[in-house]
Copies of this chain bind each other. A is one copy, B any other.
Amino acid sequence: MTSRPARGRRPGDPAITRQSILEAARATFARAGYERATIRAIASAAAVDPALVHHYFGTKEELFVAAHEIPVSPAIALSALANGQGTLGERVARAYLGAALTEGGPFEALVRAAWTNATARAMLREFIERGMLDTLAPYLGTPDARFRLILAGSHLMGLFMAREVMGFSALRAADLEYLVRVVGPTIDRYLTGDLDPAGQTEPQ
């Protein structure tokens, strides 16, 4: 905050610069895909220095999250894995299900686009594989960490959609902390439990 009064759009205004970078990022990611879109290319599309992009948004995954207003960033998910109240599963469920969705916002548009065309779908998949799983898998440290994270993540994604997008009354009516206690044990088992005890003890 500075003391000068707002004077609308003018070059050098941090809010305008931030907005231009976000727009350039959405366009560049959509065109080049997640992996091939570089900070340098996004900076060039926004006509700013790459250092400024890093200064405002940090890493590429954080810029992707900001540009599409994704409810849960890798940093938030990692923090939920590492700290907070309750079991690991409860913390992760709370972070995910407690996230807000802006109706008609860039995240909705992104998921819609992922249904509509293969390029958008590949971009979202690459972001989840590189941006989310590469960050979170080392925390679990198991050989099947990516499978476990996808299991847990797709469960929470399905619930989030059923509650926030589809708006099923039975889910809307449930208190968030109740939902966290119901879902927590599942997430715990998926992330750190024995996934297939029957399969391991079967003699054949």
Task: Write the residues of chain A forming the contact surface with B, with a CB cutoff of 8 angstroms.
Answer: 108, 111-112, 114-116, 121, 124-125, 128-129, 144, 146-147, 150-151, 153-159, 161-163, 165-171, 173-174, 178, 181-183, 185-186, 189-190, 195-196, 198-199
Contact = CB atoms under 8 A, between A and B. Distances in A.
B158 A121 contact: no
Given A112-B115, A115-B112, A186-B186, A150 B168 contact: yes
- Most B Cβ at <10 Å: residue of A156, A158, A181, A183: A158
B171 A198 contact: no
Contacts of A158: 154-159, 161
A84 to B, nearest CB: 16
B196 A165 contact: no
A contacts with B: majority SS: helix
A146 B171 CA distance: 9
A131 B176 CA distance: 27
A174 B154 CA distance: 15
Copies of this chain assembled into the complex: 2
A62 B53 CA distance: 53
A112 to B, nearest CB: 4
A182 B125 contact: no
A125 B167 contact: yes
Given A115-B112, A181-B199, A199-B181, A170 B155 contact: no
A122 to B, nearest CB: 9
Given A157-B161, A181-B195, A186-B186, 15 more contacts: A108-B115, A112-B116, A121-B165, A125-B168, A150-B162, A151-B182, A154-B162, A154-B163, A155-B158, A155-B186, A178-B196, A181-B198, A181-B199, A182-B190, A182-B196
Nearest to A166: B125
A183 B114 CA distance: 25
Given A111-B115, A115-B112, A170-B147, A182 B195 contact: yes
A158 B185 CA distance: 18
